[in-house]
Structure 1
């Protein structure tokens, strides 16, 4: 089964890297389209896959077609390729706000359609991706999509009505986590740590804390309480974060991101 990507930016490159690393298909079984010859050259040199500047060539050669362009270009690309889509194709959208119904309606024909929402940690093989399929996708095909998505991180199928919520908590939140790491590092620098060490220490603390949540199965509040000694420095920091409205700020940020996603 040949896999095609229309567009080959950072996210598509991360996905392709995972696919190749896991050996799901060979390099010769992936084709990507780029807008420029320079982009095609980068894809060939970095990934070793077949490249083209013709989106229609991707559709004629591949059975699974990923739309890896920015959301505002989806309609233009689908208008360009829709007459080539057949019942053998699986069309995969990875943009927020582009529903299964929107994708199928824009194609103007019955087509196997999948929505995936990967996040940027896919670039280091630690992504969290959610997906949903229309009823034309078979169980075997859905499992193939799962295999592809799990090549660059964790994956779960969820109901489409939850995709905007997922996008906020996983698609958008890396930006907020990066801000948190930067803020912690700035505070560490103010206390005398060299900046390079401050970033490394803060990032490792966040990664280790997340790993504890995933691997222990304990409630985050329980894990937090384990760190807070009576009358200690950690509980003092917690008091200040609560006073500054940390929980409310995070809640409002993710709610706002989810609502914005519904309007895209």
Structure 2
């Protein structure tokens, strides 16, 4: 499957690196498309119309407000459309690309290291063979999960923001132990491995968060003291506020 990426920013680059195959790409900043092409052994093409003519799948990675402009440039040349545009519904995609099979996606940048999460919802015209081929491609860069389209925006508040949230947690954790005398390089290495290992443990426990917490929490012990401090600091309310802020900001 020849994939054409309209937009060559961070998410497009992460997806392409995760697939490990050459892609066709465009961008309003030519240097970005050239850099992505060089990184994948692909090709920066001259126009969105040419990209659509040559690609089996056009993936929309541009800004949401550019939807109609890009659709006009592509015309009826696209064989299939996949979109990562925040807030742009399947209905809106099908209106912009009438008669073209579409699928809406929500990935995160961990696809670059093939540990991403990609939620998807297919449009009405997305046939089974095409959907299967697209899901096989996406599955190379992480776990692929079907969701009802109204939940795509909620999923964004969990999936697309996850690397930034985890990075912030890691940063705060490192700062806290550095303040107690731990060298910064050692603290950073320990926190990164602790987060990665804990994620693996959670998966091994079938994502049973209560079981995972209880396994390492002795009543009155140090872990219990730390968890109590986090609860008193309002960690749950902070995450609720963060989810609401993301979902409410979707166009």
Choose from 160, 165, 175 the match for 1:171.
160
The TM-score normalised by the length of structure 1 is: 0.89
Aligned CA distance change for structure 1 residues 121 and 45 (closer, same or farther; 3 Å):
same
Deviation at 1:255, TM superposition (A): 2.5
Cα distance in 1 for residues equivalent to 2:135 and 2:240: 30
- Aligned 8 A contact 1:36 1:53 in 2: no
Counterpart residue number, 1:84: 77
1:94 aligns with 2:87: no
Gaps of 5+ in 2: none
Cα distance in 1 for residues equivalent to 2:40 and 2:163: 25
Counterpart residue number, 1:23: none
Deviation at 1:243, TM superposition (A): 1.0
Deviation at 1:64, TM superposition (A): 0.5
Deviation at 1:225, TM superposition (A): 1.4
Aligned CA distance change for structure 1 residues 170 and 54 (closer, same or farther; 3 Å):
same
The TM-score normalised by the length of structure 2 is: 0.94
Counterpart residue number, 1:15: 15
Deviation at 1:260, TM superposition (A): 2.1
Deviation at 1:98, TM superposition (A): 0.7
Cα distance in 1 for residues equivalent to 2:33 and 2:147: 34
Q: Which secondary structure does the structure 2 equivalent of 1:193 belong to?
A: coil
Aligned CA distance change for structure 1 residues 200 and 75 (closer, same or farther; 3 Å):
farther
Deviation at 1:216, TM superposition (A): 2.1
- Aligned 8 A contact 2:205 2:212 in 1: no
Deviation at 1:168, TM superposition (A): 0.7
Q: Which secondary structure does the structure 1 equivalent of 2:140 belong to?
A: helix
Cα distance in 2 for residues equivalent to 1:226 and 1:218: 13
Deviation at 1:161, TM superposition (A): 1.4
Choose from 54, 59, 64 the match for 1:66.
59
Deviation at 1:256, TM superposition (A): 2.5
- Aligned 8 A contact 1:6 1:33 in 2: yes
Counterpart residue number, 1:54: 47
Deviation digits for residues 121-169 of structure 1 (CA, Å, limit 9, x no counterpart): 1122211000011121111111111111111111111111111111111
1:41 aligns with 2:34: yes
Number of residue pairs matched? 251
Cα distance in 1 for residues equivalent to 2:4 and 2:64: 18
Please identify runs of 4+ aligned residues in structure 1 that moved more than 4 A. Answer: none
- Aligned 8 A contact 1:5 1:31 in 2: yes
Deviation at 1:74, TM superposition (A): 2.2
Deviation at 1:218, TM superposition (A): 5.1
Q: Which moved more, 1:111-120 or 1:65-74?
A: 65-74
RMSD (CA atoms): 1.6
Cα distance in 1 for residues equivalent to 2:6 and 2:127: 23
Counterpart residue number, 1:187: 176
